[in-house]
Amino acid sequence: ERQRRSSSSHQSPAAAAMTSPPRRPHVMLVAFAAQGHLNPMLQFAGRLAAKGVDVTLASTQDARDRMLSARRDHDQAAASMTAAPRQVNIEIESFSDGYDHGGDVTFDIIRYMNQLGAAGPPNLTELILELGRRGRPITCLVNNPFVPWVLDVGARLGIPCATLWIQSYALYAMYRSHHQDPSRFEENGSHLTIPGLPPIRTEDLPSLVRADNPYQIFTRLLAEQFEKMKANRWVFANSIAELESEIIETVAELQHIKPVGPLVPVTLLGQSKSDSWNVRADMWAAEPDCLGWLDRQADNSVIYISLGSFATVSAEQMAELAWVLKNSKVPFLWVAKPKRGESDVGLPEGFVEETSDQGRVVSWCPQTDVLEHQALAAFLTHCGWNSTLETLSAGVPVIAFPQWTDQPTNAKFLVDVFRVGVRLQVGPNGLVSREEFERCRRELMTGEIAGEMRKNAQRWKSVLRTAAADGGSSDRNIQEFVDELISLDPQPESADPSGQ
């Protein structure tokens, strides 16, 4: 310390500023504490860090604790969430949502969102101020939907703001249209026409714009997000220009939203696992031997079933799918999570034991590694946008089984626009029958269209990799953002550590 002070005393403040290394821009990304929100935010953090930006990912204390716990349980303590990201200038920070250790096990989502909206702003503000006191001021604040109040925090602190839209352009256009005129979405049974989109049936609509939407609080949060981000300097989308070119070119409002996707783990994009920014944000630990079991299966033989981290299906529906898997004799890997606060996943009694030589049922697995495995033949998916981009990046055909939120719309695009799969049809009793499961399984794995679906999936795999590669369309947008951050970030006037 004495040597640094003595050395700097021989320079003028101007000379010290010229010789001191420039400070990196520091971006804070604030994510809603759900797996589907954390994943793309952390991947965006990795892209920025790989270009020399210091990044802080901030979410709730409970989310941070669960990510760290999942890492430890997966025997990766040496590369824990606090150690590995530092290699790529990423720090993980947390703020209190009022439920720092998981809160009430009954989990009332409306009460939780209200509590988050009350506790989040002051606690995030204090975190940002504390980072400033530590010499890590924020250059830009980035939020994603369901935490619109982050933009208010940025405005009060004078920090330029951006939003990462974590769904498709198609969903953005639909939500904006609903925000402007909700009455257009109230005519059940008709086709909805939105510029740049194919005709949308009622069953293709995202649940947050439907008349029977049980989660009006999220619809209100989206409306807040649209209003608040009018003042944003940047808006980004987790998509690529080539994937949704028609809607981007048709809807003028979308043309200022820069695609930076696909925000998926880099191994799916042809990058090495040793890449310093191949970071993950799993909130559950993967069960052992998922990949070892896949290694023992024949190429192009396994059906992978995962319905996401949030939605669950009824025991009756689980029984129909279990019957088909058992009787088809096809190897399967099934991710089945119990409902919150419960331990039973709802499978028929004896199913796991009776099919132990045929398949595996696990509570969580490393989906990226599964999708790129040579044994995989098809993915039965809930069609969340993250899973949609991951399966397109991996070139794997899908059996679409959407549940809620954006999933029906994503399923529509996977089947009718991207043409990489088939969609399960729900019967009049609200269930997908075993016969329907079997029809789709045969069609995609051995039917006449199987080859075409796999060929289309491989084509999209190439398109997405090209967009994300150095100099690709999404990579150029990220680089442009980084260049703007560098031009915005004020450099210190003096190298004197005292700041005088």
Tokens of 109: 């989502």
Q: How far apart are CA 7 and CA 4, in angstroms?
A: 5
DSSP state string for 287-305:
PTTHHHHHHTSPTT-EEEE
Tokens of 135: 């010499």
Q: How far apart are CA 352 and CA 349, in angstroms?
A: 8
Longest dimension (CA), the chain: 83
234: left (phi > 0), else alpha (psi -120 to 50), else beta? beta
Rounded to an integer, what is the distance from CA 289 to the centroid of its chain?
25
Q: How far is CA 349 from CA 324, 327, 345, 356, in A?
A: 15, 16, 11, 13
In one-letter notation, the amino acid at residue 33 is A
State the sign of the Cα–Cα–Cα–Cα dihedral 79, 85, 91, 95. Answer: negative
**Among 10, 26, 37, 191, which one carries the catalytic annotation?**
37
Catalytic residue check, 191? no
Backbone angles phi, psi at 168, to 5 degrees: -80, 165
165: left (phi > 0), else alpha (psi -120 to 50), else beta? beta
Identify the residue whose tokens are 């042809």.
270
Q: How far apart are CA 101 and CA 60, in angstroms?
A: 10
| The length of the chain, given as a count of residues | 500
In one-letter notation, the amino acid at residue 453 is M
Where would I find the H helices in 134-260?
149-157, 169-180, 216-228, 245-250
Q: How far apart are CA 455 and CA 419, in angstroms?
A: 10
Given a contact cutoff of 8 angstroms between Cβ atoms, the answer to whether 172 and 254 are in contact is yes
| Residues designated catalytic | 37
